[in-house]
């Protein structure tokens, strides 16, 4: 097949996406496909990714390591003269010619449903979740409302529009402040006391004006991948220092990951069953990843759903798939064929 892998984009998770896109491209080339890796934002007129199909005969592979810090999006915009469009030159036309577009994007336009809607309008086949499920999962306030209304636990929260809301007197501590529609723990702060709240809100505001202030649940952190409607083995996440933030997610050796997790069959069933329920109620696609906190009383709180889970060297979904004897390249091909 001719497969375009879309990565990058203008998102705080841009570097994570470029790492995912490089590995996905290599895996699909290994499987014998013709692959073109493109940056959604920079388009075909950039110097970093050349618009040509690569296959086994090309004897070429891609690589991209995620830096410890988030990218400078202003500098990236300046490099293309602050162009207004989030989709680079030539991207849609090239995608129309491919058999399938593999979405290796994270955050922003890649996961909020806007790109999926554009691809639908243009009759382009793509991987992952459609525009409705992408919108529902990306907006943490909407997804948590749906999750709670379906009798699945999620931490209590307050939705805040920072352009109009100024009353934070009803906040309980400790809490977690996070942008409403970002992933990879971007803009997230653990707040222990009222004196820390304002700085946490200002930090989240760097990314968007819609914020949720969430009850902090203390416990063990788990994630459950979904593949073709089935739950994969549960993985436990144990950062060596602090919480599972951007740096701990993508810098090798900073987080311990145990898969399958060392939990009872009862807890395993609870997490996997809840993950499948969340996946279905949010109308997610062929694959996803659902994150949980398990408190000291073994109550499982759903944190969020990921429609395009990371596929970097430290990402969770590939580790869970491997625990089911699904190699990385097999996983990528399964996703590409599920259109």
Q: Is 304 annotated as a binding residue?
A: yes
Q: Token match 């702060």: residue?
A: 189
Q: Is 69 annotated as a binding residue?
A: no
Adjacent-strand bridge partners of 3: 35, 100
In order of 10, 177, 179, 288, the CA distances from 225 in angstroms are 26, 25, 23, 6
- Strand blocks (E) in 104-188: 157-161, 175-179
210 is catalytic: no
CB of 133 closer than 8 Å to CB of 287:
no
Catalytic residue among 184, 185, 274, 288: 184
CB of 275 closer than 8 Å to CB of 261:
no
CA dihedral in degrees (204, 207, 209, 211; nearest 10)? -40
Catalytic residue among 19, 236, 315, 320: 315
CA distance 205 to 200: 9
- Strand blocks (E) in the chain: 2-7, 34-39, 100-103, 157-161, 175-179, 189-191, 210-215, 219-227, 230-231, 235-239, 255-258, 287-295, 300-306
Q: Is 30 annotated as a binding residue?
A: no
CA distance 307 to 183: 10
274 is catalytic: no
315 is catalytic: yes
Q: Which residues, other chains included, contact 68 with Cβ-Cβ below 8 Å and sequence gap of 6+?
A: 247, 251
Adjacent-strand bridge partners of 162: none
Q: Is 179 exposed, middle or buried (0-12, 13-18, 19+ CB in 10 A)?
A: buried
- Catalytic residue list: 13, 184, 315
Q: Which residues are annotated binding-site positions?
A: 291, 304, 306
Q: Which residues are annotated binding-site positions for Mg(2+)?
A: 291, 304, 306
């Amino acid at each position: 097949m001719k497969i375009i892998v879309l990565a990058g984009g203008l998102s705080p998770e841009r570097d994570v996406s470029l790492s995912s896109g490089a590995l996905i491209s290599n895996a699909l080339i290994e499987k014998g496909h013709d692959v073109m890796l493109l940056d959604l934002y920079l388009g075909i007129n950039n110097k970093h990714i050349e618009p040509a199909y690569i296959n086994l005969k090309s004897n070429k592979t891609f690589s991209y390591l995620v830096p410890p810090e988030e990218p400078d999006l202003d500098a990236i915009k300046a490099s293309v003269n602050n162009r207004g469009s989030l989709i680079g030159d030539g991207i849609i036309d090239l995608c129309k010619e491919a058999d399938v577009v593999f979405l290796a994007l994270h955050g922003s336009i890649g996961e909020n449903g806007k790109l999926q809607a554009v691809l639908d309008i243009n009759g382009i086949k793509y991987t992952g979740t459609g525009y409705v499920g992408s919108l529902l999962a990306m907006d943490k306030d909407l997804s948590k409302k749906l999750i709670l209304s379906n009798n699945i636990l999620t931490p209590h929260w307050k939705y805040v529009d920072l352009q109009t809301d100024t009353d934070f007197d009803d906040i309980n501590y400790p809490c977690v402040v996070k942008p409403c529609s970002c992933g990879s723990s971007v803009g997230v702060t653990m707040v222990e006391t009222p004196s820390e709240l304002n700085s946490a809100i200002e930090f989240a505001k760097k990314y968007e004006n819609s914020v949720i202030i969430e009850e902090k649940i203390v416990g063990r952190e788990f994630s459950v991948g979904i593949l073709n409607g089935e739950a994969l083995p549960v993985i436990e996440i144990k950062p060596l220092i602090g919480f599972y933030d951007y740096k701990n997610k993508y810098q090798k050796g900073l987080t311990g990951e145990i898969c399958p997790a060392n939990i009872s069959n009862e807890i395993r069933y609870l997490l996997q069953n809840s993950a499948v329920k969340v996946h279905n109620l949010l109308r997610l696609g062929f694959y996803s990843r659902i994150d949980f906190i398990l408190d000291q009383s073994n109550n499982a709180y759903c944190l969020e759903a990921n429609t395009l889970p990371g596929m970097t060297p430290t990402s969770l979904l590939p580790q869970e798939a491997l625990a089911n004897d699904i190699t990385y390249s097999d996983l990528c091909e399964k996703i590409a064929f599920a259109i």
